[in-house]
Amino acid sequence: MSNQYPFDLLDSLTEEGHFYETLGDGTVRCFACAHCCHIQPGNRGICQVRYNDSGKMRVPWGYVASLQTDPIEKKPFSHFLPGSDVLTFGMLGCDFHCAYCQNWQTSQTLRDPAAAIGASHIHRITPDQLVTSARRSGATIIASSYNEPLITSEWSTAIFSQAHQAGMKCAFVSNGNATPEVLRFIRPFLTALKVDLKSMKERSYNNLGGKLQSVLDTIQLAHDLGIWLEVVTLIVPNFNDSVQELWDAAHFLASVSLDIPWHVTAYHPDYHMNNQSTSAGLLKQAAEIGQEAGLHYVYAGNLPGKVGSLEDTHCPNCQFCLIHRQGYLLLEYKITAQGTCPRCGSTIAGIWHHDPRSVRISRQDIPKDIYW
């Protein structure tokens, strides 16, 4: 196995972790994600990148395998400083093994020999260098994504703490398989969290490598902690697209808060899954279910120009169009500096610009170059 997977390289890019406790006989319990692996000396957690070295947990540190500056809408966030640039970094590894993963070359590097190429993209970097790069690139937000950020939370926290001091906002783009310990620890530095709610069936989550209840608990706790939260469901035909399952997802989100934006997005065949691509009609149906459940902000994504006004933000009180979008582009932005609807004065849930005049409209410079 050592000649198939880049364990030696990745193990050299580690530090002692924070999110673990020692048990008997050198065993450690990791709580970076909800798997809470009990790991004996010389063994690895489910994610493969956190391992027990003689009774001490070693965790990823000091590199990125993906780095890109692009619009915050790409994450996707629709209520978090729209039109802003975000520097997004990723490492390697994941605690899930989704058959349709679009980032499989980074997430599955230590599970799939075909993904071992992900290690060739490693760039050694310090938190200070990454924050400096973000500022030089014009980004006002730093996000951890591409692989699962929870399993590299120590590294993210080091970056986010420096970004916070520099006046930047920070975000996780996550599968939501979190623990209360990690969420509470990173809360002072984390402004926004995007969670993938992949299914409402336990069996489906088991097939992906997770547990449904852990994700539902993360959504509830993130909301309770005051982290700005947006939820995405990738609609995969014949996997999670039944009316009942979509209704269950929408009903759960509504039970947490009617103000949680729900993004229903289009799937395309990738990695090991070849199901039919999601149609615009199916996305519209899913969005209608979310609206019927009472959610104030429901979006249809990944099919720009094909889903009508479901790309836009509307006032839930008077239905005035507040943000007009096409794909990642903002065509109009009308939310006031106070975060309200200019027509009826209703407060619009989200994190908005203090100066609406600063919002860039119809920009074409994406993705942007990285400046080291």
Same domain, 302 and 164: yes
Q: Which amino acid is at 282?
A: L
d(C-alpha 288, C-alpha 316), whole Å: 14
pLDDT tens digits for 173-207? 999 999 999 999 999 999 999 999 999 999 999 99
Does residue 371 lie within any of the structural domains? no
pLDDT tens digits for 336-357? 999 999 999 999 999 999 999 9
> Is residue 243 a contact partner of residue 292, using CB atoms and an 8 Å limit?
no
3-state SS, one letter per residue, for the chain: CCCCCCHHHHHCCEEECCCEEECHHHCEEECCCCCCCEECCCCECCCCCCEEECCEEEEECCEECEEEEEEHHHCCCCCECCCCEEEEEECCCCCCCCCCCCCHHHHCCCCCHHHHHHHHHCEECCHHHHHHHHHHCCCCEEEECCCCHHHHHHHHHHHHHHHHHCCCEEEEEECCCCCHHHHHHHCCCCCEEEEECCCCCHHHHHHHCCCHHHHHHHHHHHHHHCCEEEEEEEECCCCCCCHHHHHHHHHHHHHHCCCCCEEEEECCCECCECCCCCCHHHHHHHHHHHHHCCCCCEEEECCCCCCHHHHCEECCCCCCEEEEEECCEEEEECCCCCCECCCCCCECCCECCCCHHHCCCCCCCCCECCCC
Does residue 43 lie within any of the structural domains? yes
Predicted confidence (pLDDT) at residue 1 exceeds the cutoff of 60: no
Does residue 17 lie within any of the structural domains? yes
Section 40-58 average pLDDT: 97
Same domain, 330 and 252: no
So what's the pLDDT on residue 366? 59
So what's the pLDDT on residue 3? 46
Same domain, 140 and 184: yes
Does residue 372 lie within any of the structural domains? no
Does residue 279 lie within any of the structural domains? yes
Q: How far is CA 304 from the centre of its chain?
A: 20
Same domain, 273 and 198: yes
Choose between 232 and 367: higher pLDDT: 232
Residue 14: domain span:
7-59
pLDDT tens digits for 314-344? 999 999 999 999 999 999 999 999 999 999 9
Predicted confidence (pLDDT) at residue 24 exceeds the cutoff of 90: no
Which of 15, 34, 59 corresponds to the end of one domain? 59
Which candidate, 154, 245, 137, places its Cα nearest to that of 199?
245
So what's the pLDDT on residue 270? 94
Same domain, 221 and 333: no
Section 66-78 average pLDDT: 96
Does residue 189 lie within any of the structural domains? yes
Which of 25, 41, 59 corresponds to the end of one domain? 59
Q: Which amino acid is at 183?
A: L
So what's the pLDDT on residue 2? 42
Same domain, 82 and 212: yes
> Is residue 162 a contact partner of residue 101, using CB atoms and an 8 Å limit?
no
Predicted confidence (pLDDT) at residue 369 exceeds the cutoff of 80: no
Same domain, 13 and 106: no
Same domain, 55 and 124: no
pLDDT tens digits for 198-256? 999 999 999 999 999 999 999 999 999 999 999 999 999 999 999 999 999 999 999 99
pLDDT tens digits for 302-317? 999 999 999 999 999 9
Lowest mean pLDDT, pick from 28-37, 208-217, 338-347, 362-371: 362-371
Same domain, 154 and 168: yes
Choose between 219 and 363: higher pLDDT: 219
Q: How confident is the model at residue 262 (pLDDT cuts 50, 70, 90)?
A: very high
pLDDT tens digits for 263-275? 999 999 999 999 9
Q: How confident is the model at residue 5 (pLDDT cuts 50, 70, 90)?
A: confident
CATH number at residue 277: 3.20.20.70
36: left (phi over 0), alpha (psi -120 to 50) or beta: left
So what's the pLDDT on residue 242? 97
Averaged pLDDT of the chain: 95
Same domain, 93 and 18: no
Same domain, 138 and 245: yes
Same domain, 78 and 50: no
Q: How far is CA 31 from the centre of its chain?
A: 19
Does residue 1 lie within any of the structural domains? no
| Number of domains comprising the chain | 3
So what's the pLDDT on residue 362? 79
| Spatial CB neighbours of 12, under 8 Å, sequence gap ≥ 6 | none
pLDDT tens digits for 86-139? 999 999 999 999 999 999 999 999 899 999 889 999 999 999 999 999 999 999
Does residue 205 lie within any of the structural domains? yes
So what's the pLDDT on residue 30? 98
So what's the pLDDT on residue 292? 98
Diameter of the chain measured on Cα atoms: 65
